[in-house]
Chains A and B, each alone.
Chain A
Amino acid sequence: MSEKKNWPLWEIFIRSKNGLNHKHVGSLHAADAKMAIENARDVYTRRMEGVSIWVVESEHITASSPNQSESLFDPANDKVYRHPTFYNLPDEVKHM
């Protein structure tokens, strides 16, 4: 082999049961998407951890930069009106 070629890295997301979101569980190497799904099944669901698998080639994930985390996430800090406890209702009002 003149140049080294390796199986690309994939990020694996698993839905542990219906009704829940897919959750990132880790990564693995595979030659293509189909193999990535199968490898994920063999690696990450050996103990019945999942009912559905997503795979994404790692290089296709765009991540926010931690340097911008203040501008991205801190503004949500004072948006208390997005949370139900911001609103005062009398105790007699039920089911809200």
Chain B
Amino acid sequence: MTAPTDYAHLEDQFQARIDAEEKIEPKDWMPDKYRKTLIRQISQHAHSEIVGMLPEGNWVTRAPSLRRKVALLAKVQDEAGHGLYLYGAAETLGAERDDLLDELHSGNAKYSSIFNYPTLSWADIGAIGWLVDGAAIMNQVPLCRCSYGPYARAMVRVCKEESFHQRQGYEIMLTLARGTEAQKKMAQDALNRWWWPSLMMFGPNDAESKHTAQSMAWKIKRFTNDELRQRFVDITAPQAEFLGLTIPDEHLKYNEETGHYDFGPINWDEFWQVVSGEGPCNRQRLKARRRAHEEGQWVRDAALAHAEKRRQRQAAKNNQKVA
């Protein structure tokens, strides 16, 4: 029996808690929109992790040394783990993992558009680790302080585990950059293809981003898209230089006045095209996820059926004892 005024009061109280940097926990009262925003963001994040397994998983069977193979396998496995932690965090909000997966499979849910680009050479594995994981870390570290407790805790675990991912990628790039001409070419080509999509990972410009203001007020988000993107460019440009590779942006230049790198315009048409499902690999990615889920159905059913049989047998045994 909540009168509208009470509701407004609750919202004020809620915002006051957020402003005081208190964490919100699953059973606490929260505005419906806060819950929905979180479910959307956390599940998109989870989807990104499991779809993100595909482009890299591609190269697990082709990794050029056994050391690289175990490192890549462990990394892709971590992504599965991160997806799992995140679905778990979404489930504390009353969502069910299976429903969230249905949304992904039907094409209604979004995931990071970067994973709709193909991995064509071994250097792509280096570039993904260096750039894509680098951008992801930039996004994720602030989420460890997110106002929603279970999400923040999941992110602490994710960030701790991710620390080796970027180093793994950069080490691959470094090896290639110091290698033969063919390897340098491979590395440069990978940088050319992954640079701009990596910048797009931070999302639309702040002026275009419809969720930013509210998410910042709720402390789900701590920095704007453009702030994070700028920080990424500032950190990454010198790393590229160290590799002796050229970032494919003729406008990229250090600005003494601002202390930041200026960079050229992002092709937002391409971004929206990929987000809308028309990127180079959107169809393949969804098909692979759908297929894994559908072909796994009988396995999941079998395990449940067996668990049920065991329960019944146990119950029958217990009854016998009583009788």
Contacts and interface: CB of A to CB of B under 8 A. Distances in A.
In the complex they form, do A and B come into direct contact, defined as C-beta atoms under 8 angstroms apart? Answer: yes
Interface of A: 1, 4-7, 9, 25-29, 31-32, 35, 43, 46-47, 63, 65-66
A1 B307 CA distance: 18
B84 A28 contact: yes
A7 B88 contact: no
Contact of B301 (A5, A27, A46): A5
B91 A27 contact: yes
A46 B88 contact: no
8 contacts: A1-B297, A6-B97, A27-B88, A28-B84, A31-B303, A31-B304, A31-B307, A46-B77
Contacts of B157: 25-26
A1 B301 CA distance: 9
B81 A31 contact: no
Given A31-B304, A35-B303, A65-B27, A26 B297 contact: no
Contacts of A32: 303, 306-307, 310
Contact of A26 (B88, B97, B300): B88
Nearest to A67: B29
A74 to B, nearest CB: 16
Interface in B158-194: 161
B96 interface: yes
A4 B32 CA distance: 26
Given A31-B307, A65-B27, A66-B25, A43 B297 contact: no
Contact of B28 (A4, A5, A7, A66): A66
Interface size band for B: 20 to 34
Nearest to B86: A26
B287 to A, nearest CB: 21
A43 B85 CA distance: 9
A26 B85 contact: yes
Contacts of A27: 88, 91-92
A29 B85 CA distance: 11
The 8 closest A-B pairs by CB, nearest first: A31-B303, A32-B307, A27-B88, A31-B307, A66-B28, A6-B98, A66-B27, A26-B88
Contacts of A29: 97
Contact of A63 (B27, B81, B307): B27
Interface in B133-169: 153-154, 157, 161
Interface string B69-109: 00000000110010011001001100011100000000000
A13 to B, nearest CB: 14
A28 B304 CA distance: 15
A43 B300 CA distance: 18
A89 to B, nearest CB: 36
Nearest to B310: A32
Q: Which of A6, A26, A63 has the most CB of B within 10 A?
A: A26
A27 B154 CA distance: 11
A46 B73 CA distance: 13
B81 A46 contact: yes
Contact of B304 (A7, A9, A25, A66): A7
A31 B310 CA distance: 11
A65 B98 CA distance: 27
Contacts of A9: 91
Contacts of A63: 27
Interface string B207-251: 000000000000000000000000000000000000000000000
A31 B84 CA distance: 16
B81 A66 contact: no
B112 to A, nearest CB: 22
B300 A6 contact: yes
